[in-house]
Amino acid sequence: MIIGASIFLVGTALEKTEYRLLVEPMLLIGSCLLNSVVFDRVALLTSTNWAILITGLSVMLTAYGLQCEGRYPRLTDLGYFIGSIMVYAGLFALVQDTYFEFLYLAITASGLYACVVLHSRALLLTTTIAMLSFLGYCSEEYFANSLGWPFTLICMGLIFMGISAVAIKIKHRI
C-alpha cells in the first residue's frame, strides 16, 4: 500500500517537471497497487464478491476525482470502464438467486442516469451491457417457455427509449 501511495505521489510531483509524459503511467500503476491492497484486505475479511464490488467503487471514485480535476481523460475513462465492470459483476454475484435479484435492474437503470450526469461513454457502455445481460439472464432463468415475455421485452424497450429521450433532453439543458 505504501509503494502504491508513493508511486501515486511521485506521479503527481512529476506533473511540474519536464517528465510530464510519465505522469499517467505512474498514476495508473499507483492506483492499481493501492486498489489491489484494498481488494486483498476486503477479500480476507468478507468474500471475493464484496471485494470486487468495493474495489470497483474505489476505482470509480478515483476516476471521478480525476474527472473533477479536469485532467487525464484517458485515465478517467479507463477508471470508469474497469470500475463499473467490477461493480456490476460483483453486485450481480451478490444478488444472484436472492430476493434482491431484480434490484440489480434498478441499479443499472440508475447507472444510466449517472452516465448522463458524469458525461461518460465508457460508463454508458458497461451499464448498457450489464442491463442487457441481466435481461438475457432473466429471460433464460424465469421466462424461457412463456408467451408474455416477448411482449414484456418490447414494452421495456419502449420505456428505455423514452428514458433515453428524456436523458438527452436533460443533457442538452445542462
pLDDT over threshold 90, residue 57: yes
CB 111 within 8 A of CB 127: yes
| Whole-number percent of the chain with pLDDT over 90 | 25
Per-residue pLDDT of 75-109, as tens digits, reads 999 999 999 999 999 999 999 989 898 899 899 98
Q: Which pLDDT belongs to residue 82?
A: 94
CB atoms closer than 10 angstroms to residue 142: 10
Read off the pLDDT band of 113 (50, 70, 90).
Answer: confident
pTM for the predicted model, two decimal places: 0.80
Sign of torsion, CA 137 46 107 120?
negative
